[in-house]
Amino acid sequence: MARNRGVMSDQLKEELAKELGFYDTVQQEGWGGIRARDAGNMVKRAIELAEGQLANKENK
Protein backbone atom coordinates (compact mmCIF):
# COMPACT_ATOMS: atom_id res chain seq x y z
CA MET A 1 0.00 0.00 0.00
CA ALA A 2 1.37 3.44 -0.93
CA ARG A 3 1.94 6.05 1.74
CA ASN A 4 0.01 9.28 1.48
CA ARG A 5 2.13 12.33 0.81
CA GLY A 6 2.19 14.86 3.61
CA VAL A 7 0.25 18.08 3.31
CA MET A 8 3.13 20.30 4.40
CA SER A 9 6.32 20.41 2.37
CA ASP A 10 9.57 19.55 4.09
CA GLN A 11 10.74 23.11 3.51
CA LEU A 12 7.68 24.57 5.27
CA LYS A 13 8.07 22.17 8.19
CA GLU A 14 11.72 23.14 8.58
CA GLU A 15 10.91 26.87 8.43
CA LEU A 16 8.20 26.47 11.06
CA ALA A 17 10.49 24.42 13.30
CA LYS A 18 13.12 27.17 13.07
CA GLU A 19 10.54 29.87 13.79
CA LEU A 20 9.19 27.96 16.78
CA GLY A 21 12.63 27.10 18.15
CA PHE A 22 12.88 23.32 17.95
CA TYR A 23 14.73 22.82 14.68
CA ASP A 24 17.85 21.69 16.54
CA THR A 25 15.85 18.77 17.96
CA VAL A 26 14.67 17.86 14.46
CA GLN A 27 18.25 17.87 13.21
CA GLN A 28 19.50 15.73 16.09
CA GLU A 29 16.59 13.30 16.55
CA GLY A 30 14.40 13.63 13.47
CA TRP A 31 10.71 14.56 13.45
CA GLY A 32 9.93 11.75 15.87
CA GLY A 33 11.99 13.50 18.53
CA ILE A 34 9.79 16.58 18.85
CA ARG A 35 7.22 16.95 21.58
CA ALA A 36 3.53 16.64 20.80
CA ARG A 37 3.09 20.25 21.92
CA ASP A 38 5.69 21.39 19.37
CA ALA A 39 3.97 19.42 16.60
CA GLY A 40 0.64 20.98 17.57
CA ASN A 41 2.13 24.46 17.60
CA MET A 42 3.62 23.82 14.18
CA VAL A 43 0.23 22.81 12.77
CA LYS A 44 -1.45 25.78 14.44
CA ARG A 45 1.09 28.18 12.89
CA ALA A 46 0.70 26.56 9.45
CA ILE A 47 -3.07 27.08 9.68
CA GLU A 48 -2.57 30.72 10.68
CA LEU A 49 -0.32 31.26 7.65
CA ALA A 50 -2.80 29.58 5.31
CA GLU A 51 -5.70 31.63 6.67
CA GLY A 52 -3.68 34.81 6.20
CA GLN A 53 -2.92 33.91 2.59
CA LEU A 54 -6.58 33.13 1.94
CA ALA A 55 -7.68 36.43 3.46
CA ASN A 56 -5.18 38.30 1.26
CA LYS A 57 -6.53 36.59 -1.87
CA GLU A 58 -10.12 37.42 -0.94
CA ASN A 59 -9.29 41.10 -0.38
CA LYS A 60 -7.75 41.51 -3.84
**Structural domain range at position 46:** 10-59
Q: Rounded distance, CA 5 to CA 15, Å?
A: 19
Measured at the CA of 59, the angle between CA 12 and CA 15, to 5 degrees, comes to 10
Number of independent structural domains in the chain: 1
Give the pLDDT confidence of 35-57 residue by residue, as tens digits: 999 999 999 999 999 999 998 88
5 in a structural domain: no
24 in a structural domain: yes
pLDDT of residue 5: 64
* Cα dihedral 20, 26, 32, 36 in deg (nearest 10): -10
User: Can you give the pTM of this predicted structure?
Assistant: 0.80
3 in a structural domain: no
